[in-house]
Amino acid sequence: MNVFASALLSFPQARAQRLTLALLIVTLASAPLLRASPQSSPPAQPSAAAPTPLAALIDEARRNDPKIRAAEDAARAAGYAAPQASALPDPTFTLQQFSVGSPRPFAGYANSDFAYIGFGVSQELPYPGKRRLRASVADREADAWAHRAEAVARDEIEALREGYYRLAYLQQTLALIQRDDGVLQQVTQVAEARYRVGQGNQQDILKAQLQRTKLLYDISMNRRSAGEAQAELKRILRRPQDSPDIVAEALTVTPLRLTPGELLARLEQQNPDLGELAAMVKKSETQVDLARREFRPDFGVSYMYQHTAGNFRDYYMFTFDVKFPRRKPRQAALAQAQINVDRAKEERDAQMQEIEASMQKQLVLLRTSEEQSQLYREGLIPQAQFSLQAGIAAYQVGRADFGSLLSSLQDTINLDLEYQQTLLDHEMAVAQIERLTGGMLP
């Protein structure tokens, strides 16, 4: 027998109106909020569609997100730069006609052994090793593009995760607010019944109505935020905006199984930002080697066949060229390449420090949210529910004012929402850690 039924039995002389009021209180006592156990999870938002696992949406985003596909196309395109950089310069084919005695074509061709028609080919030959180094620079650039594509995919997947968790939070809090709105309606009925029998006042009814209006406003804002989250998720998934809404799984506290040392190792090996900067360091170092090799001369070879009239002998000419580079511009290029190596290393070190600091912040948030969620689940929320039950019982027998009852109800509502926010903060921290480490955590 609950406390409200006990309270009814303690007043056998109550009037008929008092009995009506007590029946309303008994109905209120049977509301889902008051029957919830300390370990019970918040009710999920009712929906005809089954929740979609986050992993399925991530796979869909990797296939369909236009930003991810564009970045992957750019990385594939960069892979074709090395063959171009290592290729020989284009050969030159020459057709030459030499006239004697007149500018007219073929003048003197039959009566002078100087007039001829020539056919030739020439080819530039870079100093040995230059083509290989140019290809290596292009390969390092392609590596950077590949890591950049991973970073774009990671950012989009992170946006998907955050949108999914926020949608789950909004769906769960909407169910909580709707449940609390039902409880508040029943409390309002109690206040109206007390007012009708002369035991309450009109101000209690107005307070209850004001509180319910606030809940209705919260429901409206919740639905607006959920609609915005749905739009962002459908953008990433490349779904039509008028497609069925996504239903998220309920938020839970995902345990972190890796130690900080293991996370740091994964960060150094898999973080795409660090990978891109490491590729840029290697590219800069290769450019230094190439700049040194540019001090060496390049070569050129050409061959010309010159045909004269039948009564004269033909000519055959082979040419070998050496192109000596000017030192001043090559020295400037070498100094620039050496500075770029130092800059690339400093940028990587700075990025590493920022990422490590961000990782530490997320770990602190993760541990704190785990502790807080346990406090909400095992202490604050059950205590608030028991306090609300006691407040209703006291209000029933006239030992508490309506303001105290509303305050207890508001505390219960706020703690439920704060608990859901703590779960959201925890999952957001997990998403950030997965973003920093460049992959899903085990």
DSSP for 183-225, written as a single string: HHHHHHHHHHHHHHTTSS-HHHHHHHHHHHHHHHHHHHHHHHH
**Encoded tokens for 372:** 């807080």
Structural domains of the chain sorted by starting position, each given as residue range(s) with its CATH number in brackets: 1-29 (no CATH), 31-86+154-296+328-437 (1.20.1600.10)
Q: What per-residue confidence (pLDDT) applies to 10?
A: 35
The residues, any chain, with a CB within 8 Å of residue 138's CB and separated by 6 or more, are 78, 81, 82, 84, 85, 86
Question: Which has the minimum average pLDDT: 46-50, 118-122, 307-311, 419-423?
Answer: 46-50
Chain length of the chain = 442
Model confidence pLDDT, tens digit, residues 325-347: 999 999 999 999 999 999 999 99
Per residue in 155-191, pLDDT tens?
Answer: 899 899 999 999 999 999 998 888 888 878 877 777 7
Q: Is the pLDDT of residue 16 over 70?
A: no
Residue 38 in this model has a pLDDT that exceeds 80: no
pLDDT digits (tens, 9 = 90+) for 223-279: 999 999 999 999 999 999 999 999 999 888 877 788 888 888 888 888 888 999 999
pLDDT of 141 higher than 60 = yes
Phi and psi of 361, rounded to 5°?
Answer: -60, -45
C-alpha 243: how far from its chain's center? 22
d(CA 382, CA 269): 45
Question: Token match 């809404």: residue?
Answer: 245
Considering all CA atoms of the chain, what is the largest pairwise distance in Å, rounded to the nearest integer?
146
Q: Convert 131-149 to b/e letters by CB count within 10 Å (16 or more is b).
A: bebbbbbbbbbbbbbbbbb
Q: Rounded CA gap, 410 and 399, in Å?
A: 19
pTM over 0.85: no
Output the pLDDT for position 24. 40
Q: Which helix (H) or strand (E) holds 118?
A: strand 116-125
